[in-house]
Amino acid sequence: MPLDISSLLDKQQHFFQTGRTLELSFRKERLSAVRHWILTHESRIMKALRADLNKSSHEAFVTEIGIVLEEIRTASRHLKKWSRPRKVPTPLTHMGSKSWIQPEPFGISLIIGPWNYPFQLIVAPLIGAIAAGNCVVLKPSEMAPHTSTLIRKMAEEIFDPAHVTVVEGGVKESEALLEQPFDSIFFTGSPAVGRIVMEAAAKRITPLTLELGGKSPVIVDRDAHLALAAKRIIWGKFINAGQTCIAPDYLVVHQDVREELVERMKAAIQELYGEEPLENPDYPRIIHERHFTRLSRFLEKGIILTGGGIDASAPAMEPTLLENVSWTDPVMEEEIFGPILPVLPFDDLDEVIRQIRRKPKPLALYCFTESKQTEDRILSALPFGGGCVNDTLMHFASPYLPFGGVGPSGMGRYHGKGSFDCFSHQKSILKQTTRFDFPFRYPTSKIGLKVL
Strands 364-368 and 410-411: unpaired
DSSP conformation class of 359: S
Euclidean distance between CA atoms 222 and 53, whole angstroms: 36
Q: Which residue lies nearer to ligand NAD by CB, 113 or 217?
A: 113
Q: From CA 210, how far away is CA 449, in angstroms rounded?
A: 47
- Establish whether 175 is a catalytic residue: no
Q: Which among 106, 130, 343, 64 has a CA at the least distance from the CA of 201?
A: 106
* Sheet architecture: strand order including 340-346: 303-306, 320-323, 340-346, 250-254, 217-220, 364-368, 386-389
**Residues in the chain, total:** 452
Nearest residue (beta carbon) to ligand NAD: 213
Q: DSSP alpha helices (H): ranges in 274-416?
A: 289-298, 349-358, 372-381
Torsion of CA 339, 366, 422, 357, to 10 degrees: -100
- Give me the amino acid identity at 178: L
- Closer residue to ligand NAD (CB): 90 or 296: 296
343: closest CA among 303, 311, 286?
303
Task: Give the interface with ligand NAD as residue ranges (CB under 6 A).
Answer: 112-116, 121, 139, 141-143, 170-171, 174-175, 188-190, 193, 196, 211-213, 245, 335, 337, 363, 405, 410
End-to-end C-alpha distance for the chain, whole angstroms: 63
| 410-411 vs 208-211, strand pairing mode | antiparallel
* Separate counts of helices (H) and strands (E) for the chain: 16, 18
- The CA distances from residue 226 to 71, 221, 239, 256, 264, in Å, are 33, 9, 20, 12, 8
DSSP tag of 241 = G
Buried-state track 425-436, b at ≥16 Cβ within 10 A, e below 16:
beeeeeeeeeee
Minimum distance, C-beta of residue 139 to ligand NAD, in the bound complex (Å)? 6
3-state secondary structure of 217: strand
Shortest distance in whole angstroms from residue 111 CB to ligand NAD = 10
Q: Which of 211, 259, 260, 375 is catalytic?
A: 211
Q: Quick one: which of 246, 268, 220 has its CA closest to 401?
A: 246
CB nearer ligand NAD, residue 27 or residue 413: 413
C-alpha to C-alpha distance for 137 and 387, rounded to whole angstroms? 30
Q: Give whichever of 212 and 230 is closer to ligand NAD, judged by the CB atom.
A: 212
Nearer to ligand NAD, 215 or 258 (CB): 215
Min dist CB 245 to ligand NAD, Å, is 3
Distance CA 45, CA 138 (A): 17
Q: CA distances (Å), 329 to each of 146, 249, 323, 333, 334, in order?
A: 36, 14, 11, 6, 9
Q: Which residue's CB is nearer to ligand NAD, number 196 or number 304?
A: 196
| Distance of closest approach, residue 140 Cβ to ligand NAD, in angstroms | 7
C-beta of 100: minimal distance to ligand NAD in Å?
32
Cβ closest to ligand NAD, residue 189 vs residue 307: 189
Measured from the CB of residue 240, what is the shortest distance to ligand NAD in angstroms? 10
Q: How far is the CB of 145 from ligand NAD (least distance, A)?
A: 11
Q: Is 105 or 113 the residue whose CB approaches ligand NAD more closely?
A: 113
- Smallest gap from Cβ 397 to ligand NAD, in A, equals 12
Which residues are paired to 186 by β-bridges? 111, 209
What amino acid positions are annotated as catalytic residues?
211
